[in-house]
Structure 1
Amino acid sequence: MTDPSAAEGVRQRNLARLLRLVHLEGPLSRARLTGATGLNRSTIADLVGELVREGLVVERAPDPSRRVGRPSPVVAADARVVAIAVNPEVDAVTLAAVGLDRGLPLRERIELDHLLTPDETAALIAERLAQWRAGELADARVVAVGLAVPGLVRAADGLVRNAPHLRWTDVPLRDLVETATGLPTVVGNDATLGAIAEHLFGAAAGFDDVVYLNGGASGIGGGLIVHGMPLLGAGGYTGEFGQNRPGIAAESDRRAVDGVLEDEVSRARLLAAVGLHAADEPVLASALADAGVESEAADEVARQRRILATALANAVNALNPAVVVLGGFLATIAAADVPGLTELVRAQAMSANAEDLEIRVASLAEDRLLIGAAEAAFAELLRGPTA
């Protein structure tokens, strides 16, 4: 006799497979889903029908010009299913609505003149969510909130152990936001979530061994993908590259006595070099470009590139990644000459470790942390679509 619970478990896993496929790859025909899963056509039709009834996917007619013979309906994640993604920083907080279809219908950056407290952060999220639900998200199904925080976040419960630049210590941020919004909430380190986003959808797609470094207003963090999976560590605290002490070959390049990497390779130093107090990444990149090659700003970029190259060589020696992805202001200082930076790294790394190395800038640009936060928020739904 067939165990009903076992059969239902198989069905739930198959529903999750289909939903994850259309979430990760975009709209797919039923025929493509049949080929990707090995399930028969009638089973695919039944599973898709259930996901449609649950409001998680939509079906539409295919483009007849692209197929000979009987067309197969196209299945897509429903854009009305959204997560709220949040990235609190020292100079701004950025919020977005991110669709299960990977669309980003709403995005807002709020400049700050003070450090947000955790309670203020939760209240701000709840306020914006209420506004959006009364307007642009009136027809949406908001499933969860995801936060990308620049600091140490305990993987087990989302406790922010230490976000030094925000001055948050042992903050139960998940609980605060859940209470304020009434929504399930997931909290993660910003760079770890950025690494996941770039691995799934961006510059690291197709690579199983990735080092990702994120440069933001709070410093430098990192994320690791090993054998295709995020490497979190015992407590969830891996990737703190910014706290490593860099090797600096020329003493004239040193700016911080006994400083760590993020003291030397610094967004604040770049802003100062172009005379800005605060700016988002596109504005900073434009200001650096406008400064020209014979400028204090160009000299500062070159100095930071030299120190960054040494730090990356150490990471390449230790981890042997296939690709290093740089996001935030690190992408800005790399983008002018990525091959040149790659050669600087190779010159300081073990030749075997770096022989096939690629260095890339984050292709998701300013949205990378928000997409990573949304991915964390969608995780429970993707594991159990009809649970």
Structure 2
Amino acid sequence: MALYGKLTKKLVENLGAGRHGDGGGLYLVVDPSGARRWIVRVVVKGQKNKVGGPLRTDFGLGGADIVTLNQARDRALEYRRMAKQGLNPRFNAKREIPTFEEIAQQVHIDRLPTWKNPKHGQQWINTLRDYAFPKIGRMPVDSIDQPEVMMCLAPIWTEKHETARRLSQRIKVVLDVAKSKGFRSGENPVTAIKDAQVLPKVKTKPKHHKAMGWQDVPAFYADLSHRNAMAAKALMFTCLTGSRTGEVLGMRWAELDFNACLWTCPEERMKTGDAHRVPLTDEMLAIIEPLKTMQSDFVFEGQKRHRPLSNMAMLMLLRRMGVEGVTVHGFRSAFRDWVSEVANVPHEVAEKSLSHKVGNNVERAYARSDLLEKRRALMKQWSQFATSNQT
């Protein structure tokens, strides 16, 4: 006689990886990742499998974070009763299957703490909202297969290939999570589509930010230095430091060490996810030190008190100056080109000046120095060059 009720709520929450029986064919399956789901194994009376033996089948009952132990026992009992009557639960059981959108929204919420910043998290769900929810959002997640995924991907695969590629990755994640919770079975249709090479290959050329030639930087900087707008100050500082827009505009006074002539940009604003030290030259200090008198939280304050400049402010300034075909980010390229053609420094120094990661994980584990003093000499040389046309 089968022994029922072996599991408890505490065991369900704490058991390690493996299959743990409760009795009566009910099992808690704990994946190595820690995901927990319920399955029930039944033998359908009077039905045979392919080799003529009793039809013994496993059925998913949902994730343990959604389906409680008592609910799992009730559902398992329902499945056993159907099987005893000769009814295959696969075709006769009534289950509440969440929709694709419901699972996607939950995945988004669960992963909010892992996003680099709120903007990235919003972009993740927005892609699904714009291209997946209108077509498969209301469908039960267990009914989505290759044709449904193709409905989302095919219309934008060539026209908006990068968006479609990201969309496919995000659909795959949602379906994988649904499977881990017991709402799906079988291969992920996104994987199947990729492996079968159903969609055409799209050759994409990397898009580079439009940059000013390094030879033109001194004349441009001289023009910029005669402007009093805060956007001009921020753009001058951006040119000299080779930093990214968000790194500069988010800069607070607490990040600056005037005694050590150093700016430390915190990891949350860095693309690499690591804090970055920027040596401050005399030319850089000449830009920011007069701004202390504003007593703002941010170095480059925008129109609202204690708020930074808009991330479009510097680009709009370029347009007002009549500088076409150049982006703010492109000044990083101008700096890098100047380093390659003029400055006589090692590759690692140039790349670390732009806060690029150098080498593989093993190499970075041993080369932990950020080469600050060598970068300080390089930034001094660049600042002197960029300001050489000033009068």
Give the shorter-chain TM-score range.
Answer: under 0.3
Higher relative contact order (CA 8 A, sep 6+): 1
> Could you tell me the TM-score, scaled by structure 2's length?
0.23
Larger fraction in strand: 1
- Name the larger-Rg structure: 2
> Could you tell me the TM-score, scaled by structure 1's length?
0.23
Larger fraction in helix: 2
